[in-house]
Amino acid sequence: MKFDPIHCPECGELAKGTVDLVPGLALLTDPDDDGQVDYEGETEIAWDCQETIQDEEGKFKLECSNVHNWFASLVKDKEA
């Protein structure tokens, strides 16, 4: 993969990775006598469903080690 820009526009650091959304199921306790439930304290993560955040133009959201975010285009290699 090749991104443009690969360096953070704010600080110049190299991108550390893409920013992804990973869905999860926050587990609930069994209802008590009043029907009240609580968060059980565990979340089942659906790793197979993770998606990189993209903008309307299809650019990928990148992040540097200073936690700055920006969108970059995926550059396609020129065919020889």
Q: What average pLDDT values come out for the chain (80 residues) when binned by 10 residues? A: 96 98 97 96 96 97 98 84
pLDDT at 78: 73
Helices (H) and strands (E) in the chain, counts: 0, 8
> How many Å is the maximal CA-CA distance in the chain?
70
Q: What is the span of the domain harbouring residue 8?
A: 3-26+38-74
Does the model's pTM come out above 0.85?
A: no
Judge whether 42 lies within some domain. Answer: yes
10 is a domain residue: yes
Split into its structural domains, the chain has a count of: 1
Is 16 among the domain residues?
yes
Provide the pLDDT for residue 57: 97
Residue 33 domain flag? no
Beta strands 60-64 and 69-74, pairing class: antiparallel
